[in-house]
Amino acid sequence: MSELHVRQLAAGYRGTAVLQAVDLRVPAGSLTAVLGPSGCGKTTLLRAVAGFLRPTAGEIQVGGRVVATATTALPPDRRKVTIVPQEAALFPHFTVAANIGYGLPGWTPTARKQRSSRVAELLEVVGLRGYADRKPHELSGGQQQRVALARALAPGPAIVLLDEPFSALDAGLRSKVRDQVREILTELGTTAVLVTHDQDEALSMADQIAVLREGRIAQVGPPAEIYSKPMDAELAGFLGDAVLLSAVAEGPMARTALGPVPLAHPASGMGSLLVRPEQLRLRPLPADPNGHATATVRRVSFYGHDSVVLLRTDEGTDLLARVPSPLMVRDGDGVVIEVAGTAVFYPDLAVGNRVVQTNTAR
């Protein structure tokens, strides 16, 4: 196992800066998701680590060895870094076994035997024993992606880079395949970097998330911390649906249109409060409001395991709640709204009460 360490990395194309002073450490045997919108520099970072793009400043280390600086860089084939591409990109005229063993030596009888043994081992690891002689067109999309992973793992790399490898799969298959890939990487203790713009993918797969914004790392941390305590409201909206409430912080509590809400950290003054939709608890009227806000259900979107409920408070504020099944309210019902848990306060951020909706569908 080897760790990846990126220090003060800058990189770009034809004089245009894309990455600026990027610092990122990926511990050995862990998976880090680099998350960000299109154009933020995710692919540029991946290309620099893989060796396809030389940095203009900073350095990249793999396993404690410097593999790239602004003046020197090892070629890709000497970095012990491999890539699983966005689409499997298998050779259509090769068998599964030939695709997996493509980058392995096999010129001597001993090497051919070792290659055959390595391919068989990886077919077992990725759950495709018995598929060695099939062609790519005979496989499902998920199976093709697992073959691509096996090919990347074949040479025993120090780092595996996953470049949005599930984006070409349909939603149901995507969830299954990413769970399989995560399990394989965990069992092998492989150090991996997943580049993605999918928040659910990053939150469910990664040991840590690095959010890349306009070529810089905005925040790094465990998924639960990044989701529950984003550094600013913009990041909060990017990492899932968010309800932002005007608030006045008074020590451990904040006064809001929904009533008093406990804070994750004591604060004072005016600002904005982050509440996630799943924190909103709904009780059908005529329950006693007991100081909490009341609202009308405007629309219910049913997703099976839960529902997203659009609400309008009596003061005219629109809110979003995520409620587990079975749902006890319908369109037009009156409800009392309570906030569960603590909320993050952002001082001096006067945004008004609003919903930042980025990732409602599950």
pLDDT of residue 361: 38
- The bridge status of strand 318-324 relative to strand 216-221 is unpaired
Residues 6+ apart with CB under 8 A from 96: 123, 128, 131, 132, 133, 134, 135, 136, 139, 147
Residues 6+ apart with CB under 8 A from 133: 95, 96, 97
Residue ranges and CATH numbers for the domains of the chain are 4-228 (3.40.50.300), 233-356 (2.40.50.140)
pLDDT of residue 328: 84
Q: Is 253 left (phi over 0), alpha (psi -120 to 50) or beta?
A: beta
102 close to 155: Cβ distance less than 8 angstroms: no
**Nearest-CA neighbor of 195 among 73, 48, 357, 54?**
48
End-to-end CA distance of the chain: 34
In whole angstroms, give the CA distance from residue 305 to residue 257. 29
In whole angstroms, give the CA distance from residue 297 to residue 312. 7
φ and ψ at residue 62, rounded to 5 degrees: -125, 115
Strands of the sheet with 242-256, listed across from one edge: 344-347, 259-275, 242-256, 354-356
336 close to 282: Cβ distance less than 8 angstroms: yes
pLDDT of residue 350: 53
In whole angstroms, give the CA distance from residue 171 to residue 257. 37
**Nearest-CA neighbor of 33 among 199, 175, 189?**
199
pLDDT of residue 334: 93
pLDDT of residue 359: 46
pLDDT of residue 286: 84
In whole angstroms, give the CA distance from residue 245 to residue 257. 7
φ and ψ at residue 109, rounded to 5 degrees: -55, -40
Q: How far is CA 106 from CA 36, 112, 116, in A?
A: 40, 4, 9
- Which residues of the chain are modeled with pLDDT < 50? 359-362
Q: How far is CA 33 from CA 42, 183, 194, 200, 232, in A?
A: 10, 15, 5, 11, 19
CB atoms within 10 A of CB 39: 12
CB atoms within 10 A of CB 347: 12
pLDDT of residue 200: 87
User: Residue 258 has what DSSP assignment?
Assistant: T
CB atoms within 10 A of CB 45: 28
Chain centre to alpha carbon of residue 331 = 33
- 7 has which bridge partners? 59
pTM of the full structure: 0.86
